[in-house]
Chain A
Amino acid sequence: MTIEVTARYFAAFRERAGRDTERVRTQARTAADLYGELAKRHGFADSMTRCKVAINDELADWNVSLTAGDEVLFFPPVAGG
Chain B
Amino acid sequence: MKNRLSQLRGHLPRKWREQRSLRLAAGAVTLVLPIVVVASTSASAGVNLVVNPGVEQTGPGNFPLCWGKYGYGNNTYSMGVTTRAHTGSKALQVTISKLTSGARVAQMLENTSCSPWVTPGHQYDLGVWYLSSTPDAVISLYRHDVKKGWQFWMDLNTLPVSGTYRYASVRTPVVPPNTDQISWGVTVYGKGTVITDDYSTVDATVKASGAACTAGAACTKGVWQVLPFPSPVRAIHAVLMYTGNVLLVAGSGNDPTDFAAGTFESAVYNPNKGTFQVIPTPDDFFCAGHVQLPDGKVLVLGGNLAYPDAADKENYEGLNTSYIFNPITNRYQRVNNLNGGHWYPSATELANGDVIAYGGLTATGTGSVTTEYFKYEPGTTTDGEWLPLSQINESFDGFGLYPDMILMQNGELFYTGSHVFGENETPFGTTGTKRGQGGAGILNINNILDPGAADPMITVTGLQDTPGGPPGTDETDQSMAILLPPAQSQKVMLMGGGNILYTNHPATRLTDLIDLATANPHYVPGPLIPRGTLSNGKLEGVNEGKMYVSMVILPNGQVFETGGGLIDREDPVYEAAMYNPATNKFSTAMATDPVPRTYHSSAFLLPDGRVMAIGNNPGNGSFDMRISIYSPPYLFHGPRPQVSNLSSQYWTYGSEQHITVNQQITSAELIRPAAVTHSSDPNQRYVALPMSVSGNRIGLSVTTNPDLAPPGWYMLFVTNANGVPSVAKWVHLNNVAANQ
A and B physically associate? no
